[in-house]
């Protein structure tokens, strides 16, 4: 890498989306007099009688959760997408709209209200992955579902209203815009080289080792060269898989292990239950073939320099494009050097 870039402003290209990020490493020493976030760090009980997601409790819509022991899925009581609706379109002059349908589900990762992914045991995280697989295959096989978005919002800072360990699955008729961008860039590369874009990127990163955070036999976790969020990471399978449904049992285990280790490092970074949005990107489910697609998961955490200082995407970011201060290499080194044992269990 151009050594000057460690200390001077430059921009980096995201090979998956075709977008650029402005990197300003010289700014990391500026003093912070801005907003400090409140930190709620009470130790949670294993069961909370007021929680909508705990086993046996009654949810807002009056339905009762079963006494589940393993990951449990249900239809989101306040779904953003609905399976049925009037079909139609608007095409009037410059006004354009079309009907959208879909299904939103909630996945409770564990019956234990006090846990989070980094605190769960690997075999229990394997069960979460198997549930994601099952849902991807089940929902994805439906006629009017052409993309299945699996994600987790963790923490108040990410707008998560309930601390019970859970994620969501929103699936819909159209293929969402972030997925379309990644489809297009992977496809162009595939057509030209007949190889996976992300696969070739992983090879380069595994040689350079500058941005690696974790690696095992089947998965790599790294801070992508083009990361936007301060401690953004990407987990990708070494094998060229189009979607989660293709994971074999060894890969499920390796995925669970790297998920646990990465989220432990995140919690250890500022000794807090680290907030983030994470999501899986994979091939659409519209029945077509997507040989170019390479399954991966991204983590977008908002914290910047402590558990109370968050990065804001405002001003320049809103009007021009994303910007970051610490480089991807610095973030990777910090994460790599953190212990693999959770700070509350050390
Ligand atoms: Zn709960």
Convert the pLDDT of each residue in 46-69 to its tens digit: 999 999 999 999 998 899 999 999
Q: Could you tell me the two tokens for 107?
A: 């996945």
How many A from CA of 45 to the centre of ligand 1? Answer: 9
Environment class of 332 (CB within 10 Å of its CB; exposed 0-12, middle 13-18, buried 19+): buried
How far apart are the CA of 308 and the centre of ligand 1, in A? 25
Hey, how many other C-beta atoms are within 10 angstroms of the C-beta on 195?
Answer: 13
Quote the pLDDT of residue 111: 98
Number of Cβ within 10 Å of residue 336's Cβ equals 16
Residue 346 has pLDDT above 80, yes or no: no
Strand partners, 310: 303
Q: Please list the active-site residues.
A: 166
Q: Is 26 in contact with 324 (CB distance < 8 Å)?
A: no
Of 30 and 285, which is predicted with more confidence? 285
Distance CA 212, CA 326 (A): 16
| pTM for this model (two decimals) | 0.96
The Cα 170–Cα 177 span in angstroms is 14
Distance 164 CA to ligand 1 centre (A): 4
What pLDDT does residue 207 have? 98
Instruction: Give mean pLDDT, residues 158-170.
Output: 90
Cα of 59 from ligand 1 centre, angstroms: 11
What is the tens place of the pLDDT at every residue in 91-143? 999 999 999 999 999 999 999 999 999 999 999 999 999 999 999 999 999 99
Decide: 329 and 247 in contact? Cβ < 8 Å: no
pLDDT at position 158 is: 80
């Amino acid at each position: 890498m151009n050594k000057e870039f460690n200390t001077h402003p430059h921009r980096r290209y995201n090979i998956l989306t075709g977008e650029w990020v402005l990197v300003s490493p010289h700014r990391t020493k500026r003093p912070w007099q801005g907003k400090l976030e409140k930190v709620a760090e009470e130790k949670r009980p294993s069961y909370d009688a007021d929680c909508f997601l705990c086993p046996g409790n009654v949810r807002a819509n009056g339905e009762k959760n079963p006494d589940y022991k393993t990951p449990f899925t249900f239809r989101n009581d306040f779904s953003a997408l609905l399976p049925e609706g009037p079909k139609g379109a608007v095409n009037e002059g410059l006004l354009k709209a079309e009907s959208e349908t879909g299904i939103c589900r909630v996945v409770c990762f564990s019956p234990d209200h006090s846990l989070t992914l980094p605190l769960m045991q690997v075999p229990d995280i394997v069960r979460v992955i198997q549930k994601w697989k099952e849902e991807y295959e089940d929902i994805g096989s439906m006629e009017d579902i052409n993309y299945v978005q699996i994600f987790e919002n963790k923490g108040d800072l990410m707008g998560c209203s309930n601390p019970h360990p859970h994620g969501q699955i929103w699936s819909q008729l159209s293929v969402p815009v972030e997925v379309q961008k990644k489809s297009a860039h992977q496809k162009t590369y595939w057509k030209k080289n007949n190889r996976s874009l992300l696969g070739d990127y992983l090879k380069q990163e595994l040689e350079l080792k500058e941005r690696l955070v974790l690696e095992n036999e089947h998965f790599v976790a790294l801070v992508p060269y083009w990361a936007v969020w301060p401690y953004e990471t990407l987990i990708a399978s070494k094998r060229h898989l189009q979607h989660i449904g293709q994971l074999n049992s060894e890969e499920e285990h390796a995925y669970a292990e790297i998920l646990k280790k990465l989220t432990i490092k995140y919690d250890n970074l500022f000794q807090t239950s680290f907030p983030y949005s994470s999501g899986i990107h994979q091939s659409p489910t519209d029945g077509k073939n997507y040989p170019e697609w390479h399954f991966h998961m991204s983590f977008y955490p908002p914290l910047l320099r402590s558990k109370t200082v968050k990065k804001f995407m405002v001003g320049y970011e809103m009007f021009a494009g994303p910007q970051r201060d610490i480089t991807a290499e610095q973030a990777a080194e910090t994460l790599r050097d953190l212990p693999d044992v959770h700070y509350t269990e050390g």
